[in-house]
Amino acid sequence: MIIVMSPGASEQQIEAVVKKIKEYGCEANVSRGVERTIIGAIGDERAINQELIDAMAGVDQSMHIVKPYKIVAREWHKENSVVDVSGVPVGGKTVQVIAGPCSVETQPQMDQAAQFVREAGCRLMRGGAFKPRTSPYSFQGKGVEGLEMFRRAADAQGLPIVTELMDIRMLDTFLEWNVDVIQIGTRNMQNFDLLKEVGRVNKPVILKRGMSATISEWLMAAEYIAAGGNHNIIFCERGIRTFETAYRNVLDVTAIPVLKRETHLPVIVDPSHAGGKAWMVGALARAAVAAGADGLLVEMHPTPCEAWCDADQALAPDELKVLMGELGGIARVIGRDI
161-164 and 181-184 strand pairing: parallel
Read off the pLDDT of residues 210-246 as tens digits, 9 standing for 90 and up: 999 999 999 999 999 999 999 999 999 999 999 998 8
- Give the bridge partners for 83, in sequence order: 90
Confidence (pLDDT) at 68: 84
CA–CA separation, 50 and 203 (whole Å): 33
Confidence (pLDDT) at 76: 85
**3-state SS class at 271:** helix
Given its phi and psi angles, is residue 260 left (phi above 0), alpha (psi -120 to 50 degrees) or beta? alpha
Confidence (pLDDT) at 133: 65
Q: Which CATH number fits domain 2-63: 3.30.360.10, 3.30.70.1140, 3.30.450.20, 3.90.470.10?
A: 3.30.70.1140
Confidence (pLDDT) at 207: 98
205-208 and 233-237 strand pairing: parallel
Sign of CA dihedral 245, 246, 250, 254: negative
**3-state SS class at 88:** strand
Rg, Å, the chain Cα set: 21
Domain limits of the chain?
2-63, 83-333
Burial class (CB in 10 A: 0-12, 13-18, 19+), 132: middle
Confidence (pLDDT) at 140: 67
Q: Which CATH number fits domain 83-333: 2.120.10.30, 3.20.20.70, 3.40.50.920, 3.90.480.20?
A: 3.20.20.70
Q: Quick check: pTM over 0.85?
A: yes
Residue 184: in which H helix or E strand, if any? strand 181-184
Ranges of the chain with pLDDT below 50: none
